[in-house]
Amino acid sequence: MLTDRVAVVTGAGSGIGRAIASEFARAGAHVHCLDRDLESVNTVSRVLGDSATPHECDVTDSEAVQRTFDRIEAMHGVDILVNNAGVSHIGNVANTVPEEFQRLYQVNVRGVYFCTRAVVEHMAERGRGVIINMGSVAATAGLADRFAYSMTKGAVVAMTYSIARDYVTKGVRCNSISPGRVHTPFVDGYLAKHYPGREAEMFAKLAATQPIGRMGEPEEIATLARFLASDEAAFITGTDYPIDGGFLRLHG
């Protein structure tokens, strides 16, 4: 349970972030939902009621991040940070243009840095805190046409280990979650854009790449995040958790 805990979830407007915010609220936490799309986090917060507070925040803007976290800290200290906001990209090293490479770095790497930096010393001063970073199987597997995305998620996992080491004696735990393919709005949008009229066929093909035979659901990722944020996981830090339907170890 997360009763009376205060959590911040970035990218909470849809997909995995929305599922994590909902799961945390069900477990008793008050969740500050951050997203650059204010309408989406307002919707999430209306659904969650008094258990959530929406914030419009672009994690690539260091000043906006600091202002947002300062407001939250002024209300109450942050017990849990979930660095979930992220973007994806398809392309190899040759056809990934510098602008796209920079966009992924800004969101997926600098966003984690800005948000963590805004909260971690406050956690250390209180002698408690949990940070969960959203990685990916792309961090450790050689996925075709995921050059920039893999780069950023590898950085996320490396940052996780570094943060965990630096704050292990200060009561702050840091772990990462590395999903395989998860059925999110991004997947549906990708299929609609690239395979119009063949969405169901291609969805089945993508789902079959997981040895377990299906994509994950956002709620399954959220359940793992809730466990890692809870006192039940008090002995766990500095670890990356694949949740991938057997992709990394059973594929091929």
Question: Are residues 104 and 155 in contact, defined by beta-carbon separation less than 8 angstroms?
Answer: no
Instruction: Provide the terminal-to-terminal Cα distance of the chain, rounded to the nearest Å.
Output: 38
Contact 17, 37 (CB under 8 A): no
Q: Which parts of the chain are beta strand (E)?
A: 6-10, 30-35, 52-56, 80-83, 129-134, 172-179, 240-243
**Among residues 149, 167, 190, 195, which one is catalytic?**
149
Which residues does 39 contact at the CB level (< 8 Å), separation at least 6? 13
| Phi then psi dihedrals of residue 84, to 5 deg | -105, -25
162 within 8 A of 118, measured Cβ to Cβ? no
CA distance 150 to 7: 27
Cα dihedral across residues 185, 189, 195, 200: positive or negative: positive
Give the separation between CA 240 and CA 14, rounded to whole angstroms: 23
30, 37, 116, 121, 207 from 220: Cα distances, Å: 20, 24, 24, 30, 15
Q: How far apart are CA 229 and CA 237, in angstroms?
A: 11
Q: Is 161 a catalytic residue?
A: no
Catalytic residues: 149
